[in-house]
A = this chain, B = another copy of it.
Amino acid sequence: MSLPSLARYLPILDWGRRYDRGQFYGDMIAAVIVTVMLIPQSLAYALLAGMPPEAGIYASIAPIVLYAIFGTSRALAVGPVAVVSLMTAAAVGNIAESGTAGYMTAALTLAFLSGAMLVALGLFRLGFLANFLSHPVIAGFITASGILIAASQLRHILGIEGKGHTLIEILQALWNNVGETNVITLILGVIATAFLFWVRGGLKPLLRRAGLGPRMADIAAKTGPVLAIAGTTLAVWAFDLESRGVAIVGEVPQGLPPLTLPSFAPELLSDLFIPALLIAIIGFVESISVAQTLAAKKRQRIDPDQELIGLGSANLGAAFTGGFPVTGGFSRSVVNFDAGAETPAAGAFTAVGLALAAMFLTPLIYFVPKATLAATIIVAVLSLVDFSILKRAWTFSRADFVAVSVTILLTLFFGVEAGVSAGVITSILVHLYKTSRPHMAVVGRVPGTEHFRNVLRHEVETQPHVLSLRVDESLYFANARYLEDQLLRHAAEKPELTDVVLMFSAVNEIDLSALESLEAINTRLRDAEIRLHLSEVKGPVMDRLKRSHFLDELTGEVFLSQHEAIRRLERTSKL
């Protein structure tokens, strides 16, 4: 394999050769900041995914390194993120009880399957499949997931049981157990939540007024979770709140990530297949959106197919080192970027930082209250909740509104998998519906010009014996019969008709069904002694028509322009 082709699959060969000291310092500083921020985040998302706390840290080490080797984004930081962790909990929760060995194995297998799928999609260059997840569907899904996640964390704030995969399950479970609320946990949780909300809103302006630059103020504000955890952990330790019933993280094994193996049991693989596919696609879409946003700021390019391989390797890494499904996270990547990360090496340094934390800092984690972790999750995900997509979709296009509403409602009330699947299917169906009934306009000539416009909207000249119909859509099976129906309806209304001109300026593509419809139209019009003409046929469409017998059988002609068609047909009728 020559270097250029190897470099395609190993972007590290490209940036690694030109790595210099300036880049090293930038990467190093970014790595320290991101490491500090990632520790509480990793613990929190492990909690959300139903995994032991150390799994969150493990899931941030090998995946970061592998992404640094295979990924194309300079700033993307991969690891556990909220939505994917929730999806993991939903998928694995159906198979095993949280805290059991079976649960761990299923999570590893889920990461393995998603990773393998991502790599396969990348190798076969099938990244475009992710496009079928439309922007509004993603926005609706993220908003609904945010609500689900926040609701699922309330039990930690209240110190009670209350699990569930849909909003109704969660609220019912909370309602049943709310009587057992632990007041000290609640106080701790509410204080942590309030503090974190204040950090988001109030701390940054304060730091700015204290003289910090905007970038530093931003980064400092992101350390809020670390402060909250340090403060509440100290409180738990100082006042022995563990004995008062405050749930804490507890014993966390010390050391580097273990070598783990996913399961290859066919039944488990088949049970996890659909969830793994959804996690792969959602994770990829989230990741590439972040990567592209950041790359565009520096006019860099992201290769979507290579990103699939990068993200897939990261997930495979997670599967073999005690993690769970990961993806490129928004907040961590932005911090990485803002802190000055220059190359993927920043990620590798972060991994070193986290590995050190896993080896030496885990005893400090013992007293971290789960309520504070829940608070950091709630505050993070509520910032994702944004119902404005509904209003935006309603204003812009009802079709999008339907897709978003279906996604939000199904995610909340039937769970993440139902929500995202229904969103994709609805948006495809709505699109097919729209293109199946294309806009068609009877056109006439704007007096004194060569322009042809809709007779219903403009004062135009028409001929009683000529029907000119502009078709505003590519012709394919879903609308082929509609064209037939519409055209024959128009023809039936005009008994004096001798010529029909189909204006094809907006027809980009024609398939065999549409060709057969055109042939049927031609035959039926011929039986009724009406000629069929085409005008303004595009090159690729014309090429395709030439591969059939249609042009030989056409009773009329193919005109270069609509103007030409009418000029000729006027003359013919005068003869």
Contacts and interface: CB of A to CB of B under 8 A. Distances in A.
A428 B439 contact: no
Given A301-B488, A512-B397, A479 B131 contact: yes
Contacts of A133: 477
Interface in A139-162: none
Contacts of A299: 492, 527-528
Nearest to A548: B396
B136 A432 contact: no
Given A396-B548, A477-B427, A472 B538 contact: yes
A284 B537 CA distance: 33
17 contacts: A128-B433, A132-B432, A134-B511, A135-B516, A292-B484, A301-B488, A301-B492, A397-B544, A400-B511, A431-B476, A431-B478, A431-B511, A434-B509, A435-B509, A438-B508, A473-B474, A506-B506
Contacts of A481: 128, 130-131, 304
Contacts of A437: 128
Residue in A297, A432, A508, A515 whose Cβ sees the most chain B Cβ within 10 Å: A508
Contacts of A131: 436, 477-482
A489 interface: yes
A472 B511 contact: no
A481 B288 CA distance: 11
Contacts of A136: 477, 512-513
Residue in A400, A436, A523 whose Cβ sees the most chain B Cβ within 10 Å: A400
Contacts of A435: 474, 509
A183 to B, nearest CB: 46
Nearest to A430: B511
B548 A508 contact: no
A394 to B, nearest CB: 10
A418 interface: no
Given A301-B488, A396-B544, A397-B544, 10 more contacts: A128-B478, A131-B482, A299-B527, A301-B492, A392-B548, A393-B512, A396-B511, A473-B509, A474-B474, A506-B508
Contacts of A137: 477
Contacts of A400: 511-513
A24 to B, nearest CB: 26
A524 B292 CA distance: 10
A349 B296 CA distance: 74
Residue in A392, A509, A547 whose Cβ sees the most chain B Cβ within 10 Å: A509
B439 A540 contact: yes
Interface in A433-489: 433-439, 457, 472-474, 476-482, 484-485, 488-489
A397 B431 contact: no
B296 A513 contact: no
A304 B485 contact: yes
Interface string A285-309: 0000000100011010100100000
Contact of A428 (B130, B432, B544): B432
Contacts of A555: none
A399 interface: yes
A136 B482 CA distance: 16
B508 A473 contact: yes
Contacts of A482: 128, 131
A263 interface: no
Contacts of A439: 508, 540
A362 interface: no
A396 to B, nearest CB: 5
Interface string A487-518: 01100100000000000011011011101110
A395 interface: yes
A499 B400 CA distance: 31
Residue in A128, A297, A435, A492 whose Cβ sees the most chain B Cβ within 10 Å: A128
Nearest to A392: B512
Residue in A478, A505, A547 whose Cβ sees the most chain B Cβ within 10 Å: A478
A509 B473 CA distance: 9
Given A296-B527, A428-B432, A478-B132, A395 B473 contact: no
Nearest to A400: B512
Q: Which 3 A-B pairs have the closest CB atoms?
A: A134-B477, A135-B513, A400-B512
Interface in A509-554: 509, 511-513, 515-517, 523-524, 527-528, 538-540, 544, 547-548
A477 B397 contact: no
A508 B397 CA distance: 14
A436 B304 CA distance: 15
A511 B397 contact: yes
Residue in A393, A433, A474 whose Cβ sees the most chain B Cβ within 10 Å: A474
A433 B129 CA distance: 8
